[in-house]
Amino acid sequence: MPPVNKSAPGPFSIPVRVYYEDTDTAGVVYYANYLRFLERGRTEWLRALGVEQLRLAQEDGIVFAVRSLNIEYLKPARLDDALAVLTELTLAGRAQVTLKQWIERDGEPLVEATVRVACLDAQKMKPAALPEAIRRKMGAQ
């Protein structure tokens, strides 16, 4: 996969508050809920680029699916913490992208993840080329 255009802006960030429903009985974020936070980060990153996934599926027949994920849990988040979920494109291929994502509390990293997302034909559920307009919006060369 070719490298990303390094002139693209830095990481995209969204705020997330930890609610009671996100925690286990010890008041710590349950490990699987970090995946939900990361998904929100990717979705809002696309939305900020002007890519609406529902419209993309309906009009272009394209959907995205996580192909692989590597995650490191560094420190726990707790009930009522204010977090930032950051997303940055690292590689863009013809039919997949690789993203670096991390979750911070007051600038301190709690979770780090590398996520590979495949672009799929919505009907066949097989790899499809990422539309060139979207690649350009992502800053991919």
Each residue's pLDDT tens digit, 52-72 = 999 999 999 999 999 999 999
- At 5 the pLDDT is 41
User: Which domains can be identified in the chain, with CATH numbers?
Assistant: 12-138 (3.10.129.10)
Our answer to whether residue 24 is catalytic in this structure is yes
The two tokens of residue 84 are 């930032």
Each residue's pLDDT tens digit, 24-49 = 999 999 999 999 999 999 999 999 99
Q: What is the mean predicted confidence (pLDDT) over 8-23?
A: 91
The residue from 22, 24, 60, 121 that is catalytic is 24
**Alpha-carbon gap, residue 61 to 55, rounded angstroms:** 9
Q: Give CA separation, 56 vs 39, 41, 89, 110, in Å.
A: 17, 18, 19, 32
Q: What is the mean predicted confidence (pLDDT) over 94-99?
A: 96
Query: Mean pLDDT of all residues in the chain?
Result: 92
